[in-house]
Amino acid sequence: VVNILQHAAASLRNLSVREGNDVKIAMEGGLGPLIALLSHPSTEVQLHASGAVRNLSVNDENKVKIARDVGLRPLIELLSSTVVEIQEQTVIALRNLCANTENQIKLVQEGALPPLIGMLRAFEENLQMLAAACMRNMALDNSNKVAMVETGCLPPLVACLSSNNVGVQEQAAASLRVLSGNSDNQTRI
């Protein structure tokens, strides 16, 4: 059964890359099963399901559907996966979902900040860069700016400015720029 689920998730991941298929997969009811597969015990199934959700999360209508269909909690939980590729797919999906203002707020409310802050401290530079980019998008909501600073995002973001990786530096600086747009944060930064 695991192989069948793996193949199904991989097929949807492959199909979701083609323009227009992102809408068709959602319209045909593919989001719900994909979101359910995010919690499957097989990391191979999780990897392909998170990759498919990542691809589907680019579409504006899908951003709303994924959050509405309880897709945020399983994605947040996968941020703590021991498989770097799953973490990458997941954080990119969350970054995409944060283009929607309601999703920015929901992600903070559902606990995305602690694992994202943990990612800023990861040894993998790509994870640091992606986490900082996701946090930048989350900080576009003014109420999130204060919550993010109160949760402890400043020290790891500032530490990322010293990275040898220009992408990490750029995303950390962009996050700090957005966070500094709040007057309460201006004294903290």
CB neighbours of 33 closer than 8 A, spacing ≥ 6? none
Specify the pLDDT at position 185: 86
Distance (Å, whole) CA 86 – CA 82: 8
Distance (Å, whole) CA 46 – CA 72: 14
Distance (Å, whole) CA 114 – CA 137: 16
Specify the pLDDT at position 102: 94
Kindly list the averaged pLDDT for each block of 10 residues, start to end, along the chain of length 189: 93 95 94 95 97 96 90 94 98 96 95 97 96 97 93 96 97 97 85
Specify the pLDDT at position 95: 97
Specify the pLDDT at position 56: 96
Question: Structure tokens of 13?
Answer: 């991941």
